[in-house]
Amino acid sequence: MIDVLDRTAALAIAPELGEVFAAAFGAPGYDEEPDPGHFATDQLPTHADRDDFRLVAARSDGSVVGFAYGFTGQRGQWWSDRIANAVTPELADEWIGGHFEVVELAVRPDAQRNGLGAELMTALMAGLPHRRALLTTYSDDRPAPRLYRRLGWQLLVQDLGWGSALYGLDRGVPETR
């Protein structure tokens, strides 16, 4: 079952989300050393205060096994500005600002490879008013970039200069903002 959580509900389970985050990105094959405490007390609360914050969580036997979240990205935010400085001005003007920024997709290793990531991304994107969405992921061949391509995301920049690729999704919906 996948639930859509607002800021209050997401922050109420932040430590559990942090554990899922650490399990997912601390698994073999990832180059990260995730800090579940930092995620729960700094990253998630900061992002939860952004416009249109949305988190979807999947549970199994009462425990969170995966989640995805994002918010409206704007110029002046760290990630949006970092991306704008790494891409052509034309791409930045077309894609950055007012987009839905997918920040994290994390699934516990024991729940991976059964379609849950796709379900979470589909639930996260459902009904959003944003015409465009952006995310960064690994630039090499791993499950995450393959998943995004299967879901219709297009590769905008193969390597931003720090081992990440930029993907965009033009949802084709008119802006309602």
The structure tokens listed for 98 are 């007012």
Quick one: which of 132, 141, 138, 10 has its CA closest to 67? Answer: 10
**Does 148 qualify as catalytic in the annotation?**
yes
Determine how many CB atoms are found less than 10 A away from the CB of residue 55: 26
- Judge whether 8 and 54 are in contact, CB under 8 Å: no
Catalogue the active-site residues.
148
